[in-house]
């Protein structure tokens, strides 16, 4: 627990500095690095015998998908890495018929999921910044995810009795789920209140919706990647971040939260 707190105390200020002081392309590099690391971790866990080049394909695709969204001239080509990954993997599949060891369709889908689907979802971290005052919007998915996790953690610790997914996530309780919703809504409103002092116009009703749906997406994302762990007998995806596991362990829920908040920001802009 102490290690988790120390790492968070270091990482959160660095993240805030990057969001509010660095250009969007710098944040795109970070998102691309997270996508690449997550792809490598996932494929290394679900199939340790997979050819290393497949993991490299997925990592490169993941990195470039987010990176292309960071530059105005390359945004139109943001789908190109995923398309090329599909071409390469199907070419590998066809060529494998000339060898004794053929590539299974399951392996192909694993690579495409790690190198195309996951990066596409996480690229919303960058896509949400394609607007004026992009920094205040870039922080929204993190506010939703981290406050949902924190609210769920403390509510579950002190009030949690009834298990909701005992075979999938043994520590998740009904109180924890409700605490996640409450924590996300509370922090969204607090975030809007702080921004109002900087001459931003805030729609608090929309922020409540952000909190509710953002927490829902966060919890579903956490459960989805927990299901993959259970299916393959994985405890953690990696050990890169002390006290938190791997890159994917820390940012698993963000794959669902970022697209949800990004879509809501387009349909119901709460900050102007």
pLDDT given for residue 214 in this prediction: 98
Mean pLDDT over the full length of the chain: 90
- Tell me how many degrees the CA angle 33-23-123 measures, rounded to the nearest 5: 40
pLDDT given for residue 3 in this prediction: 64
At residue 7 the predicted structure's pLDDT band, cuts being 50, 70 and 90, is low
Contacts of 92 (CB under 8 A, 6+ apart): 54, 103, 108
Q: Rounded CA gap, 64 and 119, in Å?
A: 9
pLDDT given for residue 244 in this prediction: 66
pTM of the model: 0.91
pLDDT given for residue 12 in this prediction: 82
Q: Which residue has the higher pLDDT, 39 or 24?
A: 39
pLDDT given for residue 4 in this prediction: 63
Position 240 pLDDT exceeds 80: no
Rg over alpha carbons for the chain, rounded to the nearest Å, is 19
């Amino acid at each position: 627990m102490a290690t988790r707190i120390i790492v968070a105390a270091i990482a959160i200020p660095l993240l805030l500095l990057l969001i509010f002081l660095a250009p969007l392309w710098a944040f795109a590099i970070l998102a691309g690095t997270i996508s690449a690391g997550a792809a490598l971790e996932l494929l290394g866990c679900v199939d340790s015998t997979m050819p290393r080049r497949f993991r490299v394909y997925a990592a490169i695709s993941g990195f470039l998908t987010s990176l292309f969204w960071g530059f105005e001239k390359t945004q139109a080509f943001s789908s190109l890495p995923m398309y090329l990954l599909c071409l390469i993997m199907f070419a590998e599949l066809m060529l494998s018929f000339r060898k004794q060891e053929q590539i299974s369709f399951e392996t192909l889908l694993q690579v495409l999921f790690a190198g195309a689907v996951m990066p596409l979802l996480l690229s919303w971290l960058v896509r949400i910044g394609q607007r004026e005052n992009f920094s205040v919007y870039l922080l929204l998915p993190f506010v939703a995810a981290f406050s949902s996790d924190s609210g769920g953690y403390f509510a579950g610790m002190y009030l949690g009795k009834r298990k909701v997914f005992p075979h999938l996530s043994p520590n998740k309780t009904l109180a924890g789920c409700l605490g996640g919703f409450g924590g996300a809504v509370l922090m969204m409103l607090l975030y809007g209140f702080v921004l109002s002092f900087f001459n931003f116009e805030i729609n608090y009703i929309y922020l409540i919706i952000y909190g509710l749906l953002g927490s829902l997406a966060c919890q579903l994302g956490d459960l989805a990647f927990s299901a993959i762990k259970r299916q393959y007998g994985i405890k953690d995806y990696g050990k890169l971040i002390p006290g938190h596991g791997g890159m994917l362990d820390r940012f698993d829920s963000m794959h669902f939260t970022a697209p949800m908040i990004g879509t809501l920001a387009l349909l119901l802009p709460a900050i102007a």
